[in-house]
Amino acid sequence: MAAEIAADGITYKEATERRYQMHRLMIFIDGSNLYHETDRYQKGLRIDFEKLREGLSAGFDLVRTFYYASRPANATSEQEGFFKKMGYMGFKTRIKPLRESYGENGRRETREKGVDVALATDLVANGMRRSFDWAIIVSGDQDYCEAIEQVQSQGLRVQVSFYRHAMADELKLKADKFTYLDDLVGDIVINRAAPVEQQPAAAPVDRAI
């Protein structure tokens, strides 16, 4: 059977693909959340961020990808090198300092402060400027629900992509679409045989806004 032809002489399937590809996309990666939950998904697993970006943006007109993380006061050269490399690869990085404090038991603790706020602020600000048609948030944190609602009120759409074990139900309900990184893992992890820089180890932190 011959394919149905749209008004401009191409098939309806091709016309649909073209419309989809015209959708401008911004990706917002909660790097700290992703690092720790990747390690919980499989110990020692490391993400290839270029492959992650490529996999998530397939079929879209990618505008920009943001990466958010924390930097300890005594950051190693490996950690600093990783953040710099992310910038060279075209990621817009937002790196916040880790805060140190002492818990009730007198032990020194590190707390991540400001990463969630920075991501939510960029998401809403770019939504207000209508810089994208779709946004993809790579995180399982339910704290982004309010920001998602604000973006959606502008007629824009939000997808959440994260691990099945760590995606909050509230995020699934708020997002226009959600997908699981579990289904992409085989395509987005670092090839162990290749001499590729890996994301440096990060100290466990408590999330705080």
Strand partners for 111: 99, 206
* Pairing of the two strands 61-71 and 91-102: parallel
Amino acid at 140: G
What pLDDT was estimated at residue 187? 93
- Rounded to 10 deg, the angle between the 115-128 and 145-152 helix axes is 0
What pLDDT was estimated at residue 98? 79
pLDDT digits (tens, 9 = 90+) for 15-39: 555 655 579 999 999 999 999 999 9
**Which tokens is 109 given?**
């603790």
Amino acid at 76: T
pTM of the model: 0.79
Taking 50 as the threshold, does the pLDDT of residue 61 lie above it?
Answer: yes
Question: How far apart are the C-alpha atoms of 157 and 154, rounded to whole Å?
Answer: 9
| Spacing of C-alpha 7 from chain mean position | 38
Question: How far apart are the C-alpha atoms of 117 and 28, rounded to whole Å?
Answer: 12
Give the sheet arrangement for strand 177-180, strand by strand. Answer: 177-180, 157-162, 134-138, 24-30, 61-71, 91-102, 108-113, 206-208
Higher pLDDT, 20 or 56: 56
In the chain, what are the domains?
26-208 (3.40.50.1010)
pLDDT (average), residues 72-85? 86
Question: How far apart are the C-alpha atoms of 67 and 21, rounded to whole Å?
Answer: 23
Question: How far apart are the C-alpha atoms of 191 and 54, rounded to whole Å?
Answer: 16
